[in-house]
DNA sequence: GGGGAACTTTGTTCTATATCAAATCTATAA
DNA sequence: TTATAGATTTGATATAGAACAAAGTTCCCC
């Protein structure tokens, strides 16, 4: 029987393969570069409801999800959770404001399901970008994608009623909606869980 | 007296210096790289109210403002203008969705004041990124900044009332508010010009 | 597998902001 | 210089969704 450490290393290597596969969709890494990426990151398992970080803490890392689902939220002045982002497989997530400035965040980062996450520390990230310029390209491309996604999201918030935004979101991501409780979806879409329940109770016009 | 073309070239070179100065805040370009950047871009003058692009057109370039002010907006289903971004000196602006996909945009890009703009075509942008890897870094850093800005903006939309968001914006950018008509500020902040007028008419609580 | 907490549903009332309408005010172009 | 469209103000009315409240439901944890 293998010692615990080796089992973990084997598992860990498999997680890292997911990240490498994702990077290779955008840039072509050679063996040495793959090694440098793998040496820069760590694999972490988080249980459902476990927090990776909480408000008032500093986001010293960026997180890539290989399995599961996380949410990023803050508490508004009425004391309600406001989810600003979900992250599922093959997404990076962090509070970039805190990550960049080194100042405490207002955000909570919590697992919605048992999840596997790859983390890269701020320091390792900066060093990796200098050592492997292809990673500048990789993150530049990802950030362009993120930017277009948030522009799109903004459009929806400005051009649709809450009810329309709900129906639209469900039609776009029917599978994802199954994975999360309703109150989280309501929070993400910007209204109360009671209102979501009322929408669902309504018969859709034939 | 100099021929028209030379006068323009001289002016054009000065505009490009602004861009180079901006890039040099984030990465250090050598002479050859500066030349490559300058060869990749064009200088354009736009008069107040003139459109750089309109809805249904394709954003084939990214635009850097050296002087003046532009707005990016779309027409919502009620026929109202929804401004999603302003761009002033030293900001890049485009509809990245259209820029990346080559599909027609829903956005209008219009000068609010007489402005000077440097454009880089999609083709020149892609080539420049390959020829000058430092530009990957430059745009990666800029996109991180843009991303944090839109996260912040989202927070404000979720955590403040319209009136609070107005007062907050004015306190953050008093000079900018002077430069634009009220109805544009209302559109950017997500409410009607009538409502903005009513807010302004109110006495602030002492 | 039972009990309590976490969710969801349902009904009522309330409020911020939209919408509609019309009266000024203000720039710009002829 | 004035005519005219564009912009702002002001007031009356309407409405989407919040807040509050309380009854069901489901999910876990012991």
State whether the beta carbon of B183 lies below 7 angstroms from any atom of strand D: yes
User: Percentage of chain A surpassing pLDDT 90?
Assistant: 86
What's the gap in Å between the CA of A191 and the closest CA on chain B?
10
pLDDT higher than threshold 80 for residue A152: yes
Question: For the whole model, what pTM was predicted?
Answer: 0.91
Task: Give the domain CATH number at A41.
Answer: 2.60.120.10
C-beta atoms of A158 and B190 within 8 A: yes
Residue in chain B closest to A189 (alpha carbons) equals: B158
User: In terms of residue numbers, what domain contains B12?
Assistant: 4-130
Helix or strand holding residue B179 (H, E): helix B174-179
Total number of residues shown for chain A: 206
- Which nucleotide has the least CA–C1' distance to B197? D9
Selection from A26, A201, A171, B74 nearest residue A193 by Cα: A201
Question: Domain tally for chain B?
Answer: 1
Q: Is residue A179 part of a domain?
A: no
Q: Is residue B20 part of a domain?
A: yes
Residue of B82, B136, B143 with shortest CB distance to A158: B82
Q: Is residue A87 part of a domain?
A: yes
pLDDT higher than threshold 60 for residue A84: yes
Other CB atoms within a 10 A radius of the CB of residue A132 amount to: 21
- Cβ(A41)–Cβ(A16) under 8 Å? yes
C-beta atoms of A154 and B158 within 8 A: no
User: What is the pLDDT confidence band of residue B205, given thresholds at 50, 70 and 90?
Assistant: very low
The answer to whether A190 faces chain B, any CB pair under 8 Å, is yes
User: What is the pLDDT confidence band of residue A206, given thresholds at 50, 70 and 90?
Assistant: very low
Q: Is residue A164 part of a domain?
A: no
Selection from B108, B80, B82, B103 nearest residue B93 by Cα: B108
Average pLDDT estimate for A108-137: 96
Q: Is residue B135 part of a domain?
A: no
Selection from B101, B47, B119, B140 nearest residue A126 by Cα: B140
CA distance A204 to A200: 9
Q: Is residue B62 part of a domain?
A: yes
Mean pLDDT of chain B: 92
What's the gap in Å between the CA of B148 and the closest CA on chain A?
6
Average pLDDT estimate for A89-98: 96
User: What is the pLDDT confidence band of residue A16, given thresholds at 50, 70 and 90?
Assistant: confident
State whether the beta carbon of A156 lies below 7 angstroms from any atom of strand D: no
The answer to whether A28 faces chain B, any CB pair under 8 Å, is no
Over the stretch B60-92, which tens digit does the pLDDT of each residue have? 999 999 999 999 999 998 889 999 999 999 999
State whether the beta carbon of A192 lies below 7 angstroms from any atom of strand D: yes
Q: Is residue B184 part of a domain?
A: no
Residue in chain B closest to A95 (alpha carbons) equals: B148
Mean pLDDT of chain A: 91
State whether the beta carbon of B181 lies below 7 angstroms from any atom of strand D: yes
Over the stretch A40-53, which tens digit does the pLDDT of each residue have? 999 999 999 999 99
């Amino acid at each position: 029987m293998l010692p615990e450490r080796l089992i973990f290393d084997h598992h860990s290597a498999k997680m890292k393969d997911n990240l490498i596969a994702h990077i290779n969709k955008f840039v072509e890494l050679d063996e040495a570069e793959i090694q440098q990426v793998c040496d820069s990151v760590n694999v972490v398992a988080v249980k459902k409801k476990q927090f990776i970080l909480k408000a008032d803490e500093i986001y010293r890392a960026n997180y890539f999800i290989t399995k599961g689902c996380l949410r990023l939220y803050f508490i508004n002045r009425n004391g309600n959770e406001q989810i600003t982002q979900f992250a599922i497989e093959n997404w990076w997530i962090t509070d970039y404001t805190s990550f960049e400035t080194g100042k405490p965040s207002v955000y909570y980062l919590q697992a919605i399901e048992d999840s596997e996450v790859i983390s890269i520390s701020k320091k390792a990230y900066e060093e990796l970008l200098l050592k492997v310029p292809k990673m500048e390209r990789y993150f530049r491309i990802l950030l362009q994608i993120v930017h277009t996604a948030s522009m799109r999201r903004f459009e929806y918030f400005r051009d649709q009623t809450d009810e329309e935004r709900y129906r639209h979101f469900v039609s776009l991501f029917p599978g994802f909606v199954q994975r999360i409780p309703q109150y989280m979806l309501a929070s993400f879409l910007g209204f109360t869980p009671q209102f979501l329940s009322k929408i669902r109770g309504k018969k859709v016009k034939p």
